Amino acid sequence: MPQLQPVPNPTPSYWLSQPSHLKTLRTTASLPETCDIAIIGSGMAGILTAYHILQSFTASSHKYTPGQPIPSIILLEARDLCSGATARNGGHCKIKTTTLLNLGERADEMFALVKANRKAFKRISETENIDCELEVRRSFDVFLDADEAAETKSGYLRQRGKEGNKKWTQSYCLVPQEHVEQVTSIKGAKLALSVPVVSLWPYKFATGLLERLVEKWSGEHLNVQTNTSVTGISSSAGNDDDDDPPISMPAETVLTTPRGALLAKKVVFATNAYTAGLLPQFTDTITPIKGMASHIVPSSPINPHLNNTYNITFSPEKGTDYLNPRPDGTIVVGGGGSLFKNDRPLWYNDFDDSKRFPDSIMAYWDGYMGRTFHGWDGGEKVESAWVGTMGITPDGQPHVGRVPGTTNQWILAGFNGGGNALIGVCAEAVAEMVLGDLGFEDVAKGYGIPGSFKSGEERMQR
């Protein structure tokens, strides 16, 4: 099996239809030999980590310490800028009702974290003046199966009542039963809850933020190197003796690339699904899986215009799709997992996002809106359909903090397809860890990050 690495020529997605002028940026023609901090991965996680590190050195930051030396950062990307999951996802930041119901006593903690992420997206996009179609809006969690609808409603009411008294239920509202189909426009809808959400063009957010960083910090403090894959990491201080210290405990790390070696004092792995390709101890801990999405264009103006995003749960067997209407009336929708979930070789441990699913599966998007929504009888066209790679973990939680067994490497990866809802706060926390040589416990509580996110050997061995 080839090394777990991003492949060339990934399928083009709607989010990539307006590419950044930085997409092939190499700040310097040759790869520098050394840096203070190497960040591997130029998606949302990598760019936000770089942003929060550098923000700490602006006078407006509450973390600013005059006279503190500004580190040199090299942001490494195997392909064009931000061409992985950030350019392939659903484009909304939310947490589903059923996810919160399944979390039980941990639900309020997770709801608060996702709320903080929504606020972070809004704050950064406004502060940095990023044009990314960010909208603070509502989302519908819709259920079409009567039994599943009844079970979800019952669980929600228990959590909302005196017995449960969960704070998150105050922000999640039941749509009146008699108006569910009319309000959501979904044919056959049995239950809907209105949920807070932020939607955006994730690629434009990430690349727009990097544009601001390049304008201010490019050169000595920020060097971006696209199309530069890291193929291996090793210790800078070793010999061939069997008594060498473990590779995971060096003072500095050598990053091997086809363009030469880079010696970094600290390393951040913002590598999500590709993590085990560089850190083999994460094999079976962060596993790549393939998903699919599409961009659908109506043949004529739609009435009513869809103003909300959606998670549409058809049945326990068919599963849940996600849908994000764009301001221009077009639709980004993804999911369709029931068509391939029983054929594991098609998606499990598959990191090749250059190969779409078979045509019989991709055809799921043909006529999707007309089948599912009222008001879409005038025709529609699938403008594009693509695949993407997600990183899943056995316990459904991301890995955040120090790479186990190391002192100078940190990770934020394994977001289980829900990175938009979590990465913003996790990246800020990791930035503080990196700058202060801190561990997860030193920082996480202050950001409201659950202890279950901590990366550790014991968790990896479960």
DSSP 8-state assignment for residue 181:
H
Interatomic CA distance for residues 401 and 458, integer angstroms: 14
CB atoms under 10 Å from CB of 154, counted, come to: 11
The pLDDT assigned to 1 comes to 62
Q: Nearest Cα to 45, choosing from 392, 434, 415?
A: 415
Q: What is the pLDDT of residue 247?
A: 47
**Residue ranges in 186-306 assigned as alpha helix (H):** 202-217
pTM of the model: 0.95
Q: What percent of the chain clears pLDDT 70, i.e. is strictly above it? A: 95
> Looking at the predicted structure, is the pLDDT value of residue 203 above 60?
yes
Inter-residue contact 411 to 400 (CB < 8 Å): yes
Rounded CA-CA distance 127/174 in Å is 34
Q: What local confidence, expressed as pLDDT, does residue 62 receive?
A: 67
Going from the N-terminus, what domains does the chain have, and what CATH number goes with each?
14-87+203-285+395-460 (3.50.50.60), 135-197+288-392 (3.30.9.10)
3-class SS at 350?
coil
**pLDDT at 250 exceeding the cut of 80:** no
Write out the two tokens for 68: 């503190």
E strand segments, 360-428: 380-392, 399-402, 409-413
HSE-CB for 434 with a 13 A CA cutoff: 34
Shortest CA distance to 323 belongs to which of 302, 301, 295?
Answer: 295
Please state whether beta strands 331-334 and 287-298 pair in parallel, antiparallel, or not at all (unpaired). antiparallel
Q: What is the pLDDT of residue 377?
A: 87
User: In the structure, what pLDDT confidence band is assigned to residue 65 with cuts at 50, 70 and 90?
Assistant: low
pLDDT for 302 equals 85
pLDDT at 451: 97
Q: d(Cα 107, Cα 158) in Å, to the nearest integer?
A: 13
Count Cβ atoms within 10 A of the Cβ of residue 396 and give its class: 0-12 exposed, 13-18 middle, 19 or more buried. Answer: middle
Q: For the residues 245-253, what does the mean pLDDT come to?
A: 61
Q: Please, are residues 91 and 324 in contact by the beta-carbon 8 Å criterion?
A: yes
Segment 368-397, tens digit of pLDDT:
999 999 999 889 999 999 999 999 999 999
- CB proximity list for 240: less than 8 A, separation 6 or greater: none
Please tell me the distance from the alpha carbon of residue 119 to that of residue 122, in angstroms, as a whole number.
Answer: 5
DSSP structure string for 34-63: EEEEEEE--SHHHHHHHHHHHHTTSTTSTT
Number of Cα atoms under 13 Å in the Cβ half of residue 295? 19
Query: What is the DSSP annotation of 416-461?
Result: TT-GGGTHHHHHHHHHHHHHHT--HHHHHHHHT--GGGB--HHHHT
Average pLDDT for residues 235-244, to the nearest whole number? 57
